[in-house]
Amino acid sequence: MECPSCGKQLATEQGMRQHHTKVHNTPLPNRVCKRCHQEFYDPKSQRAYCEECYSEQGNQNGNWRGGKETETCSVCDATFSYYPSNKQGVYCSECVKEAEGLLPENPAERIELIRTACSFCEAQLERLPSSINGNEYGSFCDLDCYGKWLSNNIVGSNHHQWEGGTLFYGESWWPVRRKALEGDNYTCQRCGADSEELGQNPDVHHLNRVRDFDDPSNAHTLSNVVSLCRSCHRLVESGDKK
């Protein structure tokens, strides 16, 4: 390839372009304008029009991809236009405005909450009808109440977390977790933060990992667990703290 400015011979077109940019301080054209058909240089090699022909409007916009398309509204059968770059048109703008809950100015009707009692401690709760209807286990204040209810009501071989046996060698996880929290006064045994400071109950950490036991149920013992806040739990799990 021959440099158009100095006539130097180069092995490849790419090499000639790099030579011209570095030696003559001017990059060679790499695009042809679709309107005036003149060559021009675009650093990203993407533009379809040169500086003189480029416009922000219509098909002279560098991002032009054919403009809008038409579609029939699935609700009112009106014909409307949309840009292909947007999500495929299904509803016209008028039907979107009238649809409840899609726009802030037309919010969906608020669903009335139902008052019910926690299935464990009987505290009064407010829940959506969908969370109550068809729920065979009932409603609970939090996971702690749910765990206590499980340990008192679903025991034996019918429950997937039950392993049978005695308290220290095989009782299900939920009672052990509850007894660990109660024994540690719901307080992190490393930093001393309690559930009130944390805004939630501490985690219960296994000192010896569950996967290290041939029988995983043997890991769920009071001698193998300790209460830790979420931050200390992460530090201990990562090995940064003992």
Q: Taking the domains of the chain in order of start, what are their residue ranges?
A: 1-62, 69-98, 114-152, 172-238
Joined tokens for residue 182: 């109660």
Given this model, what pLDDT does residue 56 score? 58
pLDDT tens digits for 219-231?
Answer: 888 999 999 999 9
Cα–Cα distance, 17 to 11 (Å, whole number): 11
State pTM to two decimals: 0.35
- The residue written with tokens 């042809």 in the block is 32
Cα–Cα distance, 57 to 34 (Å, whole number): 15
pLDDT tens digits for 110-169?
Answer: 778 888 888 888 888 888 887 777 666 778 888 778 777 766 665 444 444 444 433 333
pLDDT at residue 192 is higher than 90:
yes
Amino acid at site 33: C
- Rounded mean pLDDT of the chain? 79
Given this model, what pLDDT does residue 229 score? 93
Cα–Cα distance, 226 to 38 (Å, whole number): 76
Amino acid at site 113: L
Structural contact between residues 177 and 222, judged by C-beta atoms closer than 8 angstroms = no
Q: Are strands 39-40 and 31-32 parallel, antiparallel or unpaired?
A: antiparallel
In degrees, to the nearest 5, what angle opens at C-alpha 142 toward C-alphas 176 and 182? 35
Residue 92's pLDDT band (cuts 50, 70, 90): confident
Cα–Cα distance, 124 to 118 (Å, whole number): 6
pLDDT tens digits for 41-61?
Answer: 988 888 888 888 776 555 555
pLDDT at residue 74 is higher than 70:
yes
